[in-house]
Amino acid sequence: MKGKRLWLTATFIVLAVLLAAVPVLSSCAAPEEKTIKIGMTTPSTGKAAEKGAPMGHANLDAIEYINEELGGVNGYKIEVIWLDNAYDASKVVTNVKRFMDEGCVLFTTASSAMMAASMEIANRAGFPGIASFTSPILYRPPQHIYGQMPDYGDDALAFATYYMQNIWKGPGKPKFALHLLNNPTGYGARDAFKAKADELGIEIISVDEHKADTTSEMDSLTRIKAAKPDVLYISSTPAPTAVIIKNAVELGLYPGITIGLGHAAITKALIDIAGADIVEGVYGVFPTVNWGDDVPGMAKMTEYVRKNHPDDEGNMDYITSWAQSLIVAEILRLAVENAGYEVLAKGGPEAWKAVEEYGIKKLKNFDVGGLHGPVSYTPGDNRLSKSVRVFQIRNGEIVPISDWIEAPLVKYEEYDWFGK
């Protein structure tokens, strides 16, 4: 009897060991999922978090949609290495180095300032990057950095053209005062006005700069008020723009003049921060449609924002980054079809070159569901979409007031002052 118990015990032990081993053996035998790696970095914390957080959400929500509902890219899932850069130049450089080291085939940024910080290392390596919000300095002359949409220089010229055709009624040249964020977000507008003010028939009477964390611009606006401008043009992000407009109201400068904004500022976050009554009547330029517009891509994007990040609904920055992820997927699709998955899977310079030559440069009239203009690569022009619209804030809503405006190419590198 004792021997039988020992035999049964031993049998149970052997069976237990075998059963325990089955999942392990099954797991080892499962084929490894094939993916394509990309890097994405957004300023989701720090001085520009009011823009970066919804943009990061949108990037990842759209990738979730692409992977889960569309089956990825030609059957290959997109694997995202997403990193917050906190709107810190040193962090974004570290992020881009990591993307290259970990086999990413391209990378994206939300902001022009962060792309400006990382473009030197990316261009030197031949690592392709795509920025949502851009400044001419990123790709003039063209190298390996691309702009998803028109840049801050394009905004400035589109607004000035609209102003001259639809708002300005006086004789002579209208006086423009510029208030610019002290990085490429502001400098793109500065360079555009410097290049084209005479041609547009406007006079730039002052150029002031501010920091992303400014808390008061009363001194600069007092000087501006004394110069009696017709227009205050601000190229900045929502938080400092809110400070500037509030100060302009306190000084009695606004209402009374026209305020125009570049597309980094005119978003729901500005209205939330400043208050709808403060920004009533402010104009701005933006390169996407508005929430609720009747375009094919609106329904799916709205479904995902409500499911994952309902507080972001109504924020146009979310639209921008959702579209950016759609563009990335199309680039990868083209690269896989033209160069093959195995080339991309290895990462490194060969993959980067394939993505650029057989993906980005093959883009032709790609439709991001109508969320912004068609996406094409044009030799010599690294802006992938080239259309903007003029908006105005009315009763707390950002309302389009113009048709789509095609932003012409400006070859800034032909001006001897550019980049100096």
- Best CA proximity match to 108, nearest among 50, 37, 46, 49: 37
CB 186 within 8 A of CB 169: no
CA end-to-end distance (rounded Å), the chain? 95
| Helix residue spans in 130-250 (DSSP H) | 152-166, 184-200, 218-226, 238-250
Two structure tokens written together for 268? 């729901």
Can you give the pLDDT at residue 32? 67
Q: Which residues pair with 147 in a beta bridge?
A: 131, 383
CB 150 within 8 A of CB 389: no
Amino acid (1-letter code) at residue 249: V
Instruction: Dump strand ranges (E) for 282-416.
Output: 283-286, 387-394, 397-400, 405-406
Q: List own/partner pairs for 298-303 with CB under 8 A and 24 or more apart.
A: 298/369, 298/370, 298/371, 300/65, 300/369, 301/62, 301/369, 301/371
Model confidence over 79-92: pLDDT tens digits?
A: 999 999 999 999 99
For range 304-324, the mean pLDDT: 97
* pLDDT higher than threshold 70 for residue 371: yes
Model confidence over 203-260: pLDDT tens digits?
A: 999 999 999 999 999 999 999 999 999 999 999 999 999 999 999 999 999 999 999 9
Model confidence over 58-111: pLDDT tens digits?
A: 999 999 999 999 999 999 999 999 999 999 999 999 999 999 999 999 999 999
Domains and CATH numbers, the chain: 35-150+291-385 (3.40.50.2300), 153-286+408-414 (3.40.50.2300)
- Best CA proximity match to 145, nearest among 134, 156, 153: 134
- Best CA proximity match to 63, nearest among 352, 385, 332, 310: 332
- Best CA proximity match to 391, nearest among 266, 291, 277, 292: 266
Can you give the pLDDT at residue 73? 97
Two structure tokens written together for 117? 């910080």
| Other residues' Cβ atoms within 10 Å of the Cβ of residue 34 | 13
CB 149 within 8 A of CB 372: yes
Question: What gap in Å lies between CA 79 and CA 335, rounded to an integer?
Answer: 16
Task: Kindly report whether the peptide bond that precedes residue 349 is cis, defined as omega within 30 degrees of 0.
Answer: no
Give 21's pLDDT tier (boundaries 50, 70, 90). very low
**Percent of the chain scoring above 90 in pLDDT:** 91
- Best CA proximity match to 315, nearest among 131, 39, 52: 52
DSSP letter at 33 equals P
Q: Which residues contact 115 (CB under 8 A, 6 or more apart)?
A: 109, 129, 131, 134, 138, 145, 184
Q: What is the reported pTM?
A: 0.88
CB 115 within 8 A of CB 148: no
Mean pLDDT of the chain: 92
* pLDDT higher than threshold 80 for residue 323: yes
203 conformational bin, left if phi > 0, alpha if psi -120 to 50, beta if neither: beta
Q: Which residues contact 173 (CB under 8 A, 6 or more apart)?
A: 201, 202, 203
Question: What gap in Å lies between CA 115 and CA 25, rounded to an integer?
Answer: 46
Question: What gap in Å lies between CA 248 and CA 261, rounded to an integer?
Answer: 14
Can you give the pLDDT at residue 26? 29
Give 20's pLDDT tier (boundaries 50, 70, 90). very low
Can you give the pLDDT at residue 170? 87
For range 288-314, the mean pLDDT: 97
81 conformational bin, left if phi > 0, alpha if psi -120 to 50, beta if neither: beta
Helix/strand/coil for 120 = helix
| Helix residue spans in 201-236 (DSSP H) | 218-226
